[in-house]
Structure 1
Amino acid sequence: MTADPQSRIPSRASGTLDDTSPFTLGLLLRRAHWRANAALAEALRPLGIELRHYAVLMEIADRGPTVQRDLAGATGSDKAGIMRVVDDLERRGLAVRKCVPGDRRVRAVEITPEGVRVFEAAHAVALPAAERLAAGLEPGELGQLTELLTRLSRPAAREA
């Protein structure tokens, strides 16, 4: 007599509070990402940019001129993806590529004055969207969630 194959299957990910599946965290993060992405995409649409454009503008507004390789790493993009985003930003006059002194093959991406204007407008419309996303959280929980997600997304910072 063989054992029932169902008895060897661990609990399945359901996304409920009592879920013990090893996949639950990833699934919940994915659902939260979908929800956040949809809310922010809707907020950014009137400005003619997408979340991927906003992410690059945020990096170059914060860091200053940044090589594409570093932008790809900072935004979770690949080489081809970051090139498409920078191409889009250049076409719109929101960023420019400039030669890096000492290496003619490398280009740094720099935000333009129009890029700063659009970035600031995007930041202004993203704030209410982010507040709506967090509306169901209790006081203090948004800070906790932000801290935990930061630690989860940047594990190397804790190891150093």
Structure 2
Amino acid sequence: MTSPASRRDAATRASDRPGDASPFALGLLLRRAHWRAAGVMSEALRPLGIELRHFAVLIVLVDRGPTVQRDLAAATGTDKAGIMRVVDDLERRNLAVRKAVPGDRRARSVEITPEGLALFDAAHVAAEPLVERLTADLGPDGSEQLTRLLTLLAHPGDQEPAPPTHSG
């Protein structure tokens, strides 16, 4: 004999299929959407010779300026060894440089180079048409609405929600 839990209707079980009513559906859909978006971003970065993990560091450096490696690791969700490898790669390409931190002989600050900034800008140009293709099915205002909603999810309490827009 099967238990009540095992007889549960398949429609209530977690999946990432359209129409899933489980409490896990949102997370699973966000994961699938992330995979698609990451694939598109990787496609944009590939001709530039870098990967998403490199670009994530460049984003932090552009946003924060020179940043110590431990803070780069935290900001990108990378472990200490991983961030060292990424920064090594960026240094080899002359996209970033490590500098000593005054007053702390062990700490190293990472700074984006002019070449790194040029690549950062080129990546945005390369990504634009790919992102348009990714979001084409969302309709004319869909991309902006999705960005607004994801911002509210990712940064709760940091943003005032925009008033709803009505077309007509």
Specify the TM-score bucket, using the shorter chain as the normaliser: 0.7 to 0.9
Match status 1:7 vs 2:34: no
Among all aligned residue pairs of Structure 1 and Structure 2, give the percentage whose two residues are the same amino acid: 66
C-alpha RMSD of matched pairs (Å): 2.1
In the other structure, the counterpart of 1:43 is 44
In structure 2, what residue type is equivalent to 1:153? A
Moved more, 134-143 or 87-96: 134-143
How far did 1:92 drift?
0.9
How far did 1:93 drift?
0.8
TM-score normalised by structure 2 residue count: 0.83
How far did 1:115 drift?
0.9
In the other structure, the counterpart of 2:21 is 20
In structure 1, what residue type is equivalent to 2:110? V
Which has the bigger relative contact order, CA under 8 A and spacing at least 6? 1
Aligned length: 158
- Deviation string 1:37-91 (CA, Å, 9 cap, x unpaired) is 1111111111100111111112112221011122222222222221111111011
Q: Per the alignment, do residues 19 and 98 of structure 1 end up closer, same or farther by CA in structure 2, a change over 3 Å counting? A: same
Secondary structure (helix, strand or coil) at the match of 2:98 reads: strand
In the other structure, the counterpart of 2:30 is 29
In the other structure, the counterpart of 1:59 is 60
In the other structure, the counterpart of 2:109 is 108
Secondary structure (helix, strand or coil) at the match of 2:136 reads: coil
TM-score normalised by structure 1 residue count: 0.87
Between Structure 1 and Structure 2, the one with more helix by share is 1
